[in-house]
Amino acid sequence: MFSGLFFFFGSLLVAMVVAIAIIRSSHLHAHLSMDGDLSGPQKFHVVPTPRVGGVPVMAGLMLAAAGAWSEGLPEFAYLLWAGLPVFLAGLAEDVTKRVRPLYRLLSAFVSALIAVWLLGAILPVLGIPWLDQALRGLPWLALLVTVFAVGGVCHAVNIIDGYNGLMGGVAMAIAGALAYVSFTVGDTALLAISLSLLGAILGFLVWNFPRGMIFAGDAGAYLVGFLLAEVSVLLVVRHPGVLSPWFPMLLMIYPVFETVFSIYRKKFVRQMSPGMPDGLHFHMLIYKRLVRWMVGKREAKHLLRRNSLTAPYLWSVALFSVMPATLFWQYEWVLQLCCVLFVLMYVWLYRRIVQFRAPRWLVLRRVESDTRSKLVIKSR
């Protein structure tokens, strides 16, 4: 008999235990697992930290997949098998720091192709009439679109993995929405995968937020992105005419549009390679323009607090897409409208913040007292 509690709590417990084991034994594998680079444009931690958080997430998912197999739900195990290439490529980068982004992206494409082979995970429609007609008439085009979309989501989730709790919190919200819709349409296999992913991420997040004791790393971010993308694809494939492809599009529009906008900004505005890191991602602007000046000095405890204050801003941004997607998952025109509104909101906020004109209601103001500095939440 299906037990959602087993999938959620089983994966959560295993991820928590494996994560703390990695943290406590970090002195034994520091030469492999530690992120000791504190100076890069996308580095905001203050002490060397294990960046192999993908390992506990995978451990939790493996236990849940074994349970799903015993209950006659082999799709979970097939999906983990498919995700191995992208997970291992990310783990190789976490350990060696020498795997180029292109190779990680190619591994995501390979994982997507394996999911097509094992589960038939090919998007049949995109909710755009003329393009849907082309996808139906040209199976190879549908395959290419699906593989590109899955790889793109993997890369997008990795891009937003920049601060304690950021990627994990956003991914949990998306996984929760996928679990809800899977339950509503009666898809037990996808419900088990979504609940297990939700639990595994939470088990990792306990140690990642707010103190940043372990990072997801490329293995964690790419694995989470792959599973979110594939569950989304399978929901559309397995429930044609019931679920609009605009539902997963709206669910993940924050990391996806962040990636698209970053490519545009780097290539056409800054005249640089889209693959080169810079310090102008949306979450970095939140940190630099809204959070950094509010908390203390350049002491380690203050730097850590600034880091942890950044994620809630972006969780709120993500909820502006996740909540309407969850509420209106059956109404395609509402999902499309919400996608447009989200893009407009993102561009407006980005432009205001980059021009040092952040809306006053976003600002936490620092007030100096006679004895010490303290934070109060106050609107200008």
256, amino acid identity: V
Task: Please give the Cα distance from 286 to 342 (Å, whole number).
Answer: 17
Tokens 């709206």 correspond to 250
Token pair belonging to 369: 């007292």
Which pLDDT score, from 0 to 100, does residue 262 have?
92
Grouping H, G, I as helix, E, B as strand and the rest as coil, residue 366 is strand
Report pLDDT for 369: 37
Residue-wise DSSP of 69-87: HHTT-THHHHHHHHHHHHH
* Tens-place pLDDT, residues 282-315: 998 888 888 866 555 555 566 677 788 899 999 9
Instruction: Output the CA torsion 181→200→83→72 (10° steps).
Output: -60
Ranges of residues in the chain whose predicted pLDDT is under 50:
1, 38, 40-45, 367-380
For residues 65 and 192, what is the distance between their CA atoms, to the nearest angstrom? 9
pLDDT of residue 288: 83
Q: What is the pLDDT of residue 204?
A: 97
Distance CA 362, CA 376 (A): 13
- Residue 46: predicted pLDDT: 54
Residue with tokens 């939440």: 377
The structure tokens 């490519």 sit at 263
The pLDDT value recorded for residue 297 is: 57
- C-alpha to C-alpha distance for 295 and 306, rounded to whole angstroms: 6
The string of pLDDT tens digits covering residues 225-259 is 999 999 999 999 999 989 999 999 999 999 999 99
- The single residue listed with the structure tokens 């000046």 is 293
| Residue burial 29-45, b: 16+ Cβ < 10 Å; e: rest | eeeebbbeeeeeeeebb
* pTM, full prediction: 0.90
Task: Locate the domains of the chain by residue range.
Answer: 4-365
Residue 44 main-chain phi, psi, to 5 deg: -135, 15
Q: Which of 3, 175, 13 is nearest to 72 (CA)?
A: 3
What is the per-residue pLDDT for 42?
47
Q: Angle at which helices 101-119 and 217-238 pack, to 10 degrees?
A: 30
pLDDT at 45: 46
The H or E element spanning position 310 is: helix 300-327
Cβ 281 vs Cβ 258: under 8 Å: yes
